[in-house]
């Protein structure tokens, strides 16, 4: 099978930790051929199929020059056995447009994972609203007054933009309310942008746990991203320490309840973020942590993913 990865520039990959690279490596190990392009390389002309300026690859096994381009050509996306959308957030207008091109590629007969419509229907912060039984106290609003009332009730809160990634733009406001007004103004742009506010969960000291769900089934280990120093964020991009841990009974309960729902909608891979037994986000664009879990726990996450991909096509 020839597999196309729609992703960020290959030259930007940090292959010692990159999940897309782990997927590619496992696919090539099984004899599949691997190609790649960026969303900017997709195009469509009326009467035709969605096309991609793609590079066919051979992974070399070398850390520095980790891939060779064997061919560059313009081909229909529907000619691939599978197309895997792995472009990192933010979910901006260009990402949105790319999902529409990928959905047209599905109409051409292509098979795209995660399903483009499902990517649009599950914004990573707001997807938790569907599962209120698994989340902590949460507010979604543009209103500064709403935020003040939420803070007065819960005392210690987290504020974050809806389009951030890697912990970007996350603030904590404690009981003293210090800088709540200025933080709100920064995030809600004077009432023009929507903000998510959540009660601070002190269990963050044990880690912001990434629970991976593949084909509706949970990987048996999470990656607990533990804040370091005075940092409140556990995100690896914000300096958090990643520690692989067996799933708790609560995390299994969450995965067994949410995972099949997501899979039925065409989300082959999702990353459910859990703090203290509460779901805080559901990541569907390009969930990570494959390599960290595999290296620390010995569970081959990429093998489970490619197994699920082969079954899905």
Catalytic residue list contains 283: yes
Residue ranges of E strands in the chain:
2-6, 33-37, 42-43, 51-59, 67-76, 82-85, 112-113, 138-141, 157-161, 171-173, 195-199, 208-214, 217-218, 221-226, 241-246, 269-275, 278-283
Backbone phi and psi for residue 12, each to the nearest 5 degrees, phi listed first: -90, -5
**Given 210, 235, 251, 292, which residue is catalytic?**
210
Catalytic residue list contains 55: no
**Given 103, 106, 124, 281, which residue is catalytic?**
281
Catalytic residue list contains 120: no
Catalytic residue list contains 281: yes
**Given 25, 225, 235, 292, which residue is catalytic?**
225
CA angle 239, 240, 244 (to 5 degrees): 140
Tokens of residue 65, six digits: 């020059």
Reduced to 3 states (helix: H, G, I; strand: E, B; else coil), residue 53 is strand
- How far apart (Å, rounded) are the C-alpha atoms in residues 187 and 197? 11
Catalytic residue list contains 210: yes
**Given 125, 199, 208, 251, which residue is catalytic?**
125
Residue whose C-alpha is closest to residue 77's, from 96, 47, 101, 60: 101
Residue 149, by phi and psi: left (phi above 0), alpha (psi -120 to 50) or beta? alpha
Catalytic residue list contains 125: yes
Question: How far apart are the two ends of the chain, measured CA to CA in Å?
Answer: 10
DSSP 175: T
**Given 26, 38, 273, 292, which residue is catalytic?**
273
Catalytic residue list contains 156: no
CA angle 187, 193, 197 (to 5 degrees): 55
Q: Is 74 exposed, middle or buried (0-12, 13-18, 19+ CB in 10 A)?
A: exposed
Catalytic residue list contains 107: no
**Given 55, 115, 160, 199, which residue is catalytic?**
160
**Given 18, 235, 283, 292, which residue is catalytic?**
283
**Given 106, 233, 251, 292, which residue is catalytic?**
233
Residue whose C-alpha is closest to residue 127's, from 272, 305, 253, 19: 272
**Active-site amino acid positions:** 125, 160, 210, 225, 233, 273, 281, 283
């Amino acid at each position: 099978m020839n597999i196309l990865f729609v992703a960020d520039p290959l030259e930007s990959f940090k292959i010692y930790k990159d999940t897309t690279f782990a997927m590619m490596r496992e696919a090539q190990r099984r004899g599949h051929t691997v190609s790649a392009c960026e969303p900017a390389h997709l195009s469509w002309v009326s009467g035709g199929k969605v096309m991609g300026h793609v590079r066919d690859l051979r992974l070399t096994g070398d850390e520095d020059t980790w891939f060779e381009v064997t061919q560059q050509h313009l081909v229909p996306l529907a000619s691939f056995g599978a197309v895997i959308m792995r472009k990192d957030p933010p979910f901006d207008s260009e990402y949105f447009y790319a999902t529409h091109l990928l959905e047209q590629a599905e109409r051409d007969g292509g098979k795209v994972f995660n399903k483009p419509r499902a990517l649009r229907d599950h914004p990573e912060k707001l997807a938790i609203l569907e599962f209120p039984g698994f989340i902590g106290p949460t507010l979604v609003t543009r209103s500064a007054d709403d935020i003040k009332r939420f803070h007065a009730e819960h005392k210690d809160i987290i504020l974050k933009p809806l389009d951030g990634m890697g912990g970007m733009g996350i603030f904590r406001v404690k009981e003293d309310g210090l800088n709540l007004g200025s933080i709100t103004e920064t995030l809600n742009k004077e009432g023009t942008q929507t903000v998510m506010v959540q009660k601070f969960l002190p269990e963050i000291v044990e880690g912001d746990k990434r629970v991976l769900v593949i084909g509706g089934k949970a990987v048996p280990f999470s990656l607990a991203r533990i804040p370091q120093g005075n940092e409140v964020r556990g995100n690896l991009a914000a300096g958090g320490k990643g520690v692989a841990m067996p799933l708790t009974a609560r995390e299994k309960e969450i995965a067994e309840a949410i995972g099949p729902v997501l899979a039925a909608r065409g989300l082959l891979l999702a990353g459910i973020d859990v703090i203290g037994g509460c779901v805080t986000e559901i990541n569907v664009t390009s969930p990570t942590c494959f390599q960290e879990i595999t290296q620390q726990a010995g569970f081959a996450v990429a093998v489970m993913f490619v197994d699920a991909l082969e079954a899905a096509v």
